[in-house]
Chains A and B, each alone.
Chain A
Amino acid sequence: DTAVSQTPKYLVTQMGNDKSIKCEQNLGHDTMYWYKQDSKKFLKIMFSYNNKELIINETVPNRFSPKSPDKAHLNLHINSLELGDSAVYFCASSPWTREGQETQYFGPGTRLLVL
């Protein structure tokens, strides 16, 4: 059984389009995350939700809007796609602790290419 799953795995689209990436986890975790890994391989956090509540919101253009319908799902909607949005987007989940020492489990990634 896949612990953290993302769809789609690959997404090729034109500049200016709007697209969504879906993420689901079946680990029973309270917290979910979106990360972006650029061409230089740096992995940066974008958002984090704990029990459907936004707790981390890094400096991300407001064209990116996360939505958490329940604690097992965290979707990412991107409006007006730009060339610089091309990257691999990883979803992750973890149990919640104040100390932040819990392992994060990553999904397989969504490779987004904006043409």
Chain B
Amino acid sequence: RKEVEQDPGPFNVPEGATVAFNCTYSNSASQSFFWYRQDCRKEPKLLMSVYSSGNEDGRFTAQLNRASQYISLLIRDSKLSDSATYLCVANKAAGNKLTFGGGTRVLVKP
């Protein structure tokens, strides 16, 4: 079993709609969590950190459920430019060692 698992998608989303997807992590020692975004043939870039209380950044909302060991990302009012692969990332406390999920591909269509 992978340490961080994601539905690979693709999630086909009409422009303006809301899309949400989860990722699960198996290592209960994971301390910090992130969502990274990766465009086709580009490098990953941090989208947002995920805090225990949940956090919002514009149209993006991230939630963490430690009891069930999953993280979610919700995108409201989807834009065409939101089309990308979203990588769920977990980090244990020591050493800045990020463990990436395989990514969830989102395609926003007009």
Contact = CB atoms under 8 A, between A and B. Distances in A.
B44 interface: yes
Contacts of B103: 41
Given A48-B95, A48-B96, A101 B87 contact: no
B32 A100 contact: yes
A10 B10 CA distance: 28
B55 interface: no
A104 interface: yes
A99 B31 contact: yes
Interface size of B as a range: 20 to 34
Interface of A is mostly: loop
A44 B43 contact: no
Contacts of B34: 103
B1 interface: no
Nearest to B4: A42
Nearest to B46: A103
Contacts of A104: 46, 96, 98
A40 B31 CA distance: 26
A108 B39 CA distance: 11
8 contacts: A41-B85, A48-B95, A48-B97, A99-B32, A99-B93, A100-B94, A101-B31, A103-B49
Interface of A: 31, 33, 40-45, 48, 55-56, 90, 94, 96-104, 106-109
